[in-house]
Structure 1
Amino acid sequence: MADLIRIYEENPNPKEIKRVVDVLRKGGVVIYPTDTVYGMGCDITNNRALERLARLKGIKLAKANWSFVCSDLSNLSDYVRQIDTSTFKILKRSLPGPYTFILPGNNNLPKAFKKKKTVGIRVPKNNIILSLVEALGNPIVSTSIYDEDELLEYTTDPELIHEKWDKLVDIVIDGGYGDNVASTVIDLSSSEPEVLREGKGSLDIF
């Protein structure tokens, strides 16, 4: 049974953050708020947890296109090939924010992602998930929670999310109502930025 933990975005309780991080370190799967829709993820360094996340999503791990949630741009070089100044300026201008940027991956990618040429990078503007990543000390692999309902693409109520995922994940963080618009996805892996999905983030800054 998943714990439903209330954490306030204005001031995330360090004790509750530590409780969630301990579960992530042990291979747990956690549902959390972002600056867009609620996400589900695990520790990027834990292969067992990655396999479990893939099973929950009904896909093979090798086929997964998940994003890496970072706390800031400082650990970008851990997983991303060196980027040029104009690309870095775009990242700096728009993050933290509701964007997923596709960037060329490097050789340090975790084993499960070694064959990937690109990675999706997220730095959401939400103190809860940023505090988790910071306390964990490395990115969280993240995927959105879709809803099977034809009208509702994303569930926004954490209590309903908890009800649905109760027996499948370890923790659901109640960080208040989520958004129902996903992030804007922009591919920066080639010479010109390309919008792959128009979501919550404005395109004006590009």
Structure 2
Amino acid sequence: MAEFIKIYPENPNDKEIHKVVEVLRKGGVIIYPSDTIYTLGCDITNYKAMERVAKIKKIKLEKNTFSIVCNDLSHLSDYTKPIETKTFKILKRSFPGPYTFVLPAVNNMPKAFKKRKTVGIRIPNNNITLEIIKQLGNPLVSTSIYDEDEVIEYTTDPELIYEKWERLVDVVVDGGYGGNIASTVVDLSETNPIVIREGKGSIEVL
């Protein structure tokens, strides 16, 4: 049964953040808020945890489309090839914010990402997520949690999320009501930006 941990986004409690980080360090899988929707994730350095996330999503790990969630741009060179100044300026303008930018992946990606030529990078404007990653010291992997409801694509109430996912994950972080519009996805792996999905983030930053 998952633990339900309330954390206030305006001023995240260090003790509660630490609890979540300890779960991640032990290979736990969590549901946590972002600046868009609630997402499912784990520590990027833990292969077994990523296998669990893939199993929950009912996909093969090697076919994953997980995004990498960082707390700043300092981790970028660990996962992406050197980028042009123009691209870097777009990232600086947009992060932290409701965007996923697809960038060329480095050759020595973690095992679960080996077959990927590109990777999606997120830096959400959410203090809870940023604090978790900062304390953990590694990025998280992230994937959306869809709702089967035909009208509501994403559940926004953390208590309802807990009811649905409590037997599948180790922690559900209650950071208040989430959004129901996903991030804007932009491919920056080629010369010109290509908008793959227009979501919460304005495409005027491009």
TM-score using structure 2 length: 0.99
Q: Which residue of 1 aligns with 2:23?
A: 23
CA distance in 1: counterparts of 2:107 and 2:204, whole angstroms: 33
Secondary structure of the corresponding residue to residue 78 of structure 1: helix
Q: Which residue of 1 aligns with 2:54?
A: 54
TM-score using structure 1 length: 0.99
Amino acid at match of 2:32: Y
- How much has 1:108 moved relative to structure 2? 3.0
Q: Report Cα offsets for 1:107-147 as digits up to 9, x if no partner.
A: 23111111210000000000000101111101100001100
CA distance in 2: counterparts of 1:115 and 1:33, whole angstroms: 28
Secondary structure of the corresponding residue to residue 120 of structure 1: strand
Q: Where do 5+ consecutive residues of structure 1 fail to align? A: none
Amino acid at match of 1:146: Y
Task: Count matched residues.
Answer: 206
Secondary structure of the corresponding residue to residue 162 of structure 2: helix
Runs of 4 or more above 2 Å deviation: none
Match status 1:41 vs 2:41:
yes
Q: Which residue of 2 aligns with 1:128?
A: 128
Amino acid at match of 1:100: T
Q: Which residue of 2 aligns with 1:185?
A: 185
- How much has 1:48 moved relative to structure 2? 0.5
CA distance in 2: counterparts of 1:144 and 1:111, whole angstroms: 21
Match status 1:101 vs 2:131:
no
Amino acid at match of 2:4: L
Aligned CA RMSD, in angstroms, stands at 0.6
Amino acid at match of 1:116: R
CA distance in 2: counterparts of 1:108 and 1:138, whole angstroms: 16
CA distance in 2: counterparts of 1:102 and 1:82, whole angstroms: 13
Q: Percent identity?
A: 68
CA distance in 1: counterparts of 2:203 and 2:119, whole angstroms: 20
Q: Where do 5+ consecutive residues of structure 2 fail to align? A: none
